[in-house]
Amino acid sequence: MNDLFEKLLILRAPGIGPVAYAKLIAMHGSPVAAANSLNLGVEHRDSVRREIDLAARLGVQYISDDDALYPVGLRAVKNHPPVITVRGNVDTLRRCAVSIVGTRHATGPGMGFVRNMAREFAARGIAVVSGMAMGTDTAAHMGALDADGTTQTIAVLAGGVDYIWPLENESLYHRIMERGAIISEMPVGFVPQATNFVQRNRLVAGVGDKLILGEADLKSGSMTTARFAKEYGRDLWAIPSHPADSRAMGPNSLIATGAAKLCSGISDFFGPIKKTGRDNKISNPENILLDAIGAIAVSESVLAEIVKKSISEIKRDLVILELQGLVRKTDGGYVRV
């Protein structure tokens, strides 16, 4: 990223966000010309250099929206961050992803339900996205980490990617860094303010292909994330709960108004194999492959990792399943019919 310094000069300037950044680039034609037009002083330039040096020492990577590693769903969001920082396994950003959010004060059964779902998504090669808060977010990340592999979950932070919050999740942070990815649009070393959490929620909604809402109060950050997801055209699901509990008001209201589909479990996305005459002709290896394919598109390479086969073997089995009308190829991979 040859123009990273200039991009950060612009983005770290006071009053410059994604909208102003885009206008400057459109006006001047390149980050270099746009940065020069701002006549930024030596102190500002040194500050950006210090940030880049700190990122290098911490193993933090910068991913620009013109980079192939930039999350596809987030790039499609209007006014997305031009540059994000990543700590951990950047290959996690290549995965199809589902966002799972909810209250910090979730019930035991609520967190158990979310954790089980997250584990099943991760086991099928789908990264689980959340905000690393206590409660529902923690359950989502931990469930994904229960599955085998090294690219199961993405934590989106309100501060810099090196700023661990809440402190109670320090061990979880390091587990995610080892076996997933931590991302942020904020500078390395940045300590978040209250308003930054709303910005964080926008990224959580943007990175996921779908969003699942767990327990949440009617007026909460999780409901804000759900509204962002709806605005971005994401498929929105909500897990119902007991109506006497205020934590049920968020998901139950979305279901009641038709804004979200009722989520009753992982079978909503990866249903059991139908027992028909046609299915009985499927060999056991193809049954295993079919189990790994659901409503969210999964690529051949991810399927190969899940079922522990070569790409050539996967291609052969997929052709058979396609001919039998059980799967369909899309731009993002294969889905169940």
Each residue's pLDDT tens digit, 49-71: 999 999 999 999 999 999 999 99
Q: Which helix (H) or strand (E) holds 19?
A: helix 18-28
CB 299 within 8 A of CB 151: no
For the cut 50, the answer to whether the pLDDT of residue 274 exceeds it is no
Give the mean pLDDT of 219-248: 95
The phi and psi torsions of 226 (rounded to 5 degrees) equal -65, -40
User: According to the model, what pLDDT value does residue 275 have?
Assistant: 40
User: According to the model, what pLDDT value does residue 93 have?
Assistant: 96
Q: For the segment 313-337, what is each residue's pLDDT rounded down to a tens digit?
A: 888 888 778 777 788 888 778 888 7
User: According to the model, what pLDDT value does residue 246 have?
Assistant: 93
For the cut 50, the answer to whether the pLDDT of residue 276 exceeds it is no
Give the mean pLDDT of 81-99: 97
User: According to the model, what pLDDT value does residue 26 have?
Assistant: 97
User: According to the model, what pLDDT value does residue 273 have?
Assistant: 38
In the structure, what pLDDT confidence band is assigned to residue 170 with cuts at 50, 70 and 90? very high
- Mean pLDDT, the chain, rounded, equals 91
Q: Which of 272, 232, 229 is nearest to 251 (CA)?
A: 229
What dihedral do alpha carbons 281, 284, 289, 294 form, nearest 10°? 60
User: According to the model, what pLDDT value does residue 79 have?
Assistant: 94
Distance between CA atoms of 190 and 173, rounded to whole angstroms?
16
Provide the token pair at 86. 């990543």
pTM comes to: 0.83
10-14's contacts with Cβ under 8 Å and 24+ in sequence apart are 10/34, 10/35, 10/38, 11/82, 11/83, 12/44, 12/47, 12/48, 12/51, 12/187, 13/38, 13/40, 13/44
User: According to the model, what pLDDT value does residue 174 have?
Assistant: 97
User: According to the model, what pLDDT value does residue 5 have?
Assistant: 97
CB 293 within 8 A of CB 303: yes
Strand partners, 129: 99, 154
CB 92 within 8 A of CB 180: yes
Share of the chain above pLDDT 90, in %: 77
Q: For the segment 35-45, what is each residue's pLDDT rounded down to a tens digit?
A: 999 999 999 99
Distance between CA atoms of 257 and 226, rounded to whole angstroms?
14
Distance between CA atoms of 251 and 326, rounded to whole angstroms?
32
User: According to the model, what pLDDT value does residue 277 have?
Assistant: 39
User: According to the model, what pLDDT value does residue 271 have?
Assistant: 67
Q: Which of 230, 185, 177, 225 is nearest to 201 (CA)?
A: 225
Give the mean pLDDT of 107-117: 94
Higher per-residue pLDDT: 298 or 212: 212
Distance between CA atoms of 302 and 291, rounded to whole angstroms?
13
Give the mean pLDDT of 249-264: 97
Distance between CA atoms of 231 and 238, rounded to whole angstroms?
16
Q: For the segment 280-302, what is each residue's pLDDT rounded down to a tens digit?
A: 333 444 567 888 888 778 888 88
Counting every residue, how long is the chain? 337
